[in-house]
Amino acid sequence: MGRLFGTDGVRGVAGRDLDARLAMRVAAAAALVLGSGGPRYSGLGYGGGDVAEALAGKRRPLAVVGRDPRASGEFLEAAVVAGLAGCGVDVLRLGVIPTPGVAYLTDLLRADFGVMLSASHNPAPDNGIKFFARGGVKLADEVEDAIEAKMAEQAEAGDAWGVPAAGFGRVKDAEGEAELYLAHLLSTVGVPADADTARPLTGWRIVVDCAHGAAYQLAPRLLSLAGADVIAIGVDPDGININSGCGSTSLAALRDAVVRHGADAGIAYDGDADRCLAVSAAGEVIDGDQILAILALALNESGRLAGGTVVATVMANLGFRRAMTEVGIDLVETPVGDRYLIAAMLDGKYVLGGEQSGHIIMLDHASTGDGMLTSVQLLATAAASGRSLAELAQVMTRYPQVLVNVHGVDKAKAAGSGELTSAVEAAQAELGDSGRVLVRPSGTEPAVRVMVEAVDSGQAREVADRLAAVVRDAG
């Protein structure tokens, strides 16, 4: 059996790759690995504690658990909560809430760890389990390995956990804690949630597409409280329509609504709202690279871009790289995945990073990528500048970029192919300085991703298709 954890937690088709038994076992192992934590929130009737008490079994650890609206999230949440409580962890059930909301509340409520049930931008049949360590940070590889090792150890013992020293965990519904997350987001643009004050988005009409996902309740309220006239779509989740023809993976509905309603801009989130993309008044797509460039320039101009540096992944568009160079902003490059962005940002003490898909991390305000935070910061930046999103996005030229996902191949075999290595080298030599080639195995899907950039879109497509054929032959 391969490694259980992928790029972003444990993910698969619900009921097949990820069933209730596996969810319970993963949760129980995580409880045993992550649950011996420090002082925690004591405001919900559980009492406080410290590390010594936890290790002595005198107090129970605390976990917060959230989910997106997928139908499978209901039974998987029940399984996760059972695994946690059965191993002596108190649980606050946050209900339907964006992934970054779970991260924020893990920190704010001083929980020992947080759990989110979501498959992010994937279709409804998929689901996943994401963990946050104390402070709301994603787990390091070695911690995930420890959880997998604990699962194997428990399986050998027959998955019998026994009675925890401090007793079984208690479970409490805590959907109202999402208001604390909303108030935090508003505070980042100077809006106290309970005060009559100037609103940065006053005069702006915004269409927001929530992908029938985790942000369907909070995101329209956020932008409205920030002063915008909000038109909300993708806000009727039924458990199976998440990310279906809507949200950040399918922008046609948003683009149409922005133009039809004469809006100033549009915002689209994915299923768990840890990313967002934008649309201009004319319906033009503004991707994560452009959003990152806009925010980087704004922070740099105000002296708040730590180290004059922005962090991006290897997928960042060539136009983004050149734009940053032109304004004197340094670029640190990481593998794909917001966990790698965050690691580099923490290591270099940088405050801004992101990727083309719309994962933007602003460490001054959040411990992980946050689509709702990104959207309100982006729109407030535009409103303060007196310029439209389209004007701000002109800071960079987006080079044609072709991405081909090659499914049905052995990722490891393809990665080790000498023929593929030679083909990539030849393609890069063909493109020279005016293009770029990247071939990598997906961390979230059984596929190999082939990305080619070039000044000419036709050349990019031809090279990408050629390399995809080599991948198929190699795998």
The token pair that represents 468 in the structure block:
């995809």
Positions in the chain whose pLDDT score sits under 70: 1-2, 36-58, 193-196, 444
At residue 55, the pLDDT reads 41
At residue 2, the pLDDT reads 65
For the chain, list the domains and their CATH numbers.
10-173 (3.40.120.10), 181-393 (3.40.120.10), 401-474 (3.30.310.50)
The token pair that represents 352 in the structure block:
């801004």
At residue 96, the pLDDT reads 98
pTM value is 0.88
Q: Look at residue 472 and give its three-state secondary structure.
A: helix
- In terms of residues, how long is the chain? 475
| Whole-number Å distance between alpha carbons of 360 and 312 | 9
Is-catalytic flag, 248? no
**Beta strands 330-334; 360-362: pairing state:** unpaired
The token pair that represents 233 in the structure block:
């779509």
- The phi, psi pair for 330, rounded to 5°, reads -75, 155
- Looking at 36, 42, 72, 120, which residue is catalytic? 120
Q: Which of 289, 341, 339 is nearest to 444 (CA)?
A: 339
Each residue's pLDDT tens digit, 217-246: 999 999 999 999 999 999 999 999 999 999
The token pair that represents 432 in the structure block:
């020279």
Written as one letter, the residue type at 28 is A
Local structure of residue 367 (DSSP, 8 states): S
Q: Look at residue 3 and give its three-state secondary structure.
A: coil
Say which residues have a Cβ less than 8 Å from residue 85's Cβ, sequence separation at least 6: 91, 168, 169, 170, 171
| Whole-number Å distance between alpha carbons of 115 and 18 | 15
Q: Which of 252, 251, 296 is nearest to 395 (CA)?
A: 296
| Whole-number Å distance between alpha carbons of 109 and 92 | 10
At residue 442, the pLDDT reads 80
At residue 37, the pLDDT reads 52
Q: What is the DSSP string of 292-335?
A: HHHHHHHHHHTT-SGGGEEEEETTS-HHHHHHHHHTT-EEEEE-
Compute how many other C-beta atoms are within 10 angstroms of the C-beta atom of residue 180.
14
What distance separates the 2 farthest-apart alpha carbons in the chain? 66
Q: Which of 232, 231, 230, 235 is nearest to 211 (CA)?
A: 235
